[in-house]
Structure 1
Amino acid sequence: MVFYLEHVPTGDRAFLEEGENTIGRDPDCSINMHYYYMSRKHVHILVENGKVFIKDLESRNGTFVNYLGFRINEEYREIFVDDVLIFGIMVAYHSVHKYPKFGIFTLMEEEHDSEDSVGSSPNRADGSPSSEGTNPESKE
């Protein structure tokens, strides 16, 4: 299985690598994103043994899961396919498609057919190409 984040307003995908994925505006992040209210290093998403975990990196504006009214903290918490992740600002469920510049994602998975995976190398949810910061081995 291959896990990815699908941007709710646009359908753009950011594929997650096995191991730790750092997400934020910093070019050194393994997944570089530029959405309103995102921190330079916003979250870590860990993919391990078919499970996915997330923790906030003390981001300024927080990370929210499934429209719950509280921020997640700096400890890993398991997330599941179809969970909605909101990076930076809480947005009401009925209005998510109105905000294409906000970091609102759904965790998805697909069967990995070796050559059929489209977009697995760019790893940018905003559609721009990425040639740096995609090594999951690089740490802060």
Structure 2
Amino acid sequence: MNKLLSILFTAAGLYASEGYSVYQKHCMKCHAELIEKKEVLKVMHTLKAPPMNEVSNRLRENIVISDDDDDVKRRVTIAFIKDYIEHPSVQYSMCHPMAIEKFGIMPSLKGKLSENERQAVAEWIIDRYKGVAFK
């Protein structure tokens, strides 16, 4: 049993590491990793997209499922992120209307990330900002 848990935690750690690497390579150019709301107001003119902590919070707020199971919500959110990376649209955007007006809709990354990279970065977005408020 301890071996199985060790393997699972190692695999989860590898996905987190890979997810952060994908973020650095493909997302960091536009999305700040972590920034407070008061800092955003100071540097708004230099931002190209909403910060990742705000993106994660908007996903948590807006993806609502009837099942209270956190694992189910996590899987649904990850599936949404993976799809949105390749097929972003105003209809499915989780951003505030003002953010869409300022930044527009993100460009599609279709064909630029593998299935594993999309999975890793989606998991990283959800796990990295769990309990991190955008305030």
TM-score, normalised to structure 2, is 0.30
Structure of higher CA gyration radius: 2
TM-score, normalised to structure 1, is 0.29
Larger relative contact order (C-alpha < 8 A, sep ≥ 6)?
2
Higher helix share: 2
Higher strand share: 1
